[in-house]
Amino acid sequence: MLLNTSVKPDHLNPKDFPELKNDTFLRAARGEEIEHIPVWCMRQAGRYLPEFRESRAGKDFFETCRSPEACCELTLQPLRRFPFDAAIIFSDILVVPQAMGMEVQMCPGKGPTFPEPLKEPEDLQRLKTKVDVSSELDYVFKAITLTRHRIEGKVPLIGFTGAPWTLMSYMIEGGGSATHSKAKRWLYRYPEASHKLLSQLRDVIVEYLLGQVKAGAQALQVFESHTGCLGPVEFKEFSLPYLRDIGRRVKDKIKESGLDNVPMIVFAKDGHYGLEDLSESGYEVVGLDWTIDPRSARIRTGGKVSLQGNMDPCALYATKERISEIVKRMLEGFGTKGYIANLGHGLYPDMDPDNVGAFVEAVHTHSHQLLNRK
């Protein structure tokens, strides 16, 4: 079903892909008419799946990320279980700092760790001044191309990246952080160095996203995961301008390359204070976390963009009946036009796959009912 194992990564070209059979996600992203509301989940290829844990057992995380075969297999696993309307390539946002010359390890029980984080502005000299994205991140592009062939047109494939501020925070904090105080210290004490680093990250990200589209990605998502630790003023200085630059530059370069335009999604978690700005930042879709009321989001974005989200992931701990009720209310709040159902963040490792299936089924069932009412 879904897996054409005869395709070898070394022999793949990003062309002659199988015809897309389900474009519902892409149409919803563009605000076009749909037969049902599309649904996918952040971290849908993840540790909640037994087959994922089995595939990853005993293997280094970033070694897996560097294997196109492994990334393709992990991307396809959830599609064998659930009728998702999109897939997202298995990778990690921290491959970008790695490409810039920083060491990143994935430590069990601790998460991503930078053995030598950036501490002072002079540490920026340790970063590569020129990053050959096509070489450094070639393994991601190969994984995308391979997956586009093996997915056999079942659903669109999403590529992604972390946003500059989120990556900067990891590079300075040395890993995850509750306060992000080391990174925020840079914003207040070293604003010029902060902008220099953010600009370097932006330039690499633009080339990285363009490379993903050239490799076959049919949509792109930019994860600004650490918006919540910024205030509105800092967001407008150190996050929003770079998000806008990325959206504009990627679209310009796609056009210059003669490629078809792809919808872009910006997901600024906990960035509810910047919703109006995000809706005018040049992206077709704005992703929302669960702290934003769907009806309020529609009003505040004024119909300028499609919306994606935003069920609390923890709602998946509820009974299947309760999940169905929560989904129904969410869909009624967003409406059926220009809407992609998702969670407000990624799936957690201890979640029951059956409840993920109940979420997907509820979205499709209730969306059909809502569309048939029209």
What gap in Å lies between CA 191 and CA 185, rounded to an integer?
9
Check if 92 is active-site.
yes
Please tell me what DSSP assigns to residue 319. -
Q: Which of 48, 85, 150, 170 is catalytic?
A: 170
Encoded tokens for 147? 């997956």
Alpha helices in the chain (DSSP H): 24-29, 50-56, 61-65, 68-81, 95-99, 133-136, 138-150, 164-173, 181-189, 191-215, 232-238, 240-256, 275-279, 294-301, 320-334, 353-373
Q: In what order do the strands lie in the sheet with 157-162?
A: 87-88, 157-162, 219-224, 264-268, 285-287, 306-311, 339-343
Check if 373 is active-site.
no
Residues 6+ apart with CB under 8 A from 360: 39, 82, 83, 84
Q: Which of 23, 43, 66, 270 is catalytic?
A: 43
Integer-rounded Cα radius of gyration of the chain: 20
Report helix, strand or coil for 123.
helix
Check if 80 is active-site.
no
Check if 189 is active-site.
no
Q: Is residue 2 within 8 Å of residue 76, measured between CB atoms?
A: yes
Spatial CA neighbour of 171 closest among 182, 187, 179, 159: 182
Please tell me what DSSP assigns to residue 31. T
Check if 47 is active-site.
yes
Number of Cβ within 10 Å of residue 1's Cβ equals 8
Q: Which of 27, 30, 56, 248 is catalytic?
A: 56
Spatial CA neighbour of 184 closest among 238, 125, 104, 132: 238
CA separation (Å) from 341 to 98, 122, 156, 160, 370? Answer: 32, 44, 15, 18, 14
Q: Which of 92, 203, 277, 293 is catalytic?
A: 92
Q: Is residue 81 within 8 Å of residue 357, measured between CB atoms?
A: yes
Q: Which of 27, 30, 47, 248 is catalytic?
A: 47
Q: Is residue 326 within 8 Å of residue 359, measured between CB atoms?
A: no
Residues taking part in catalysis: 43, 47, 56, 92, 170
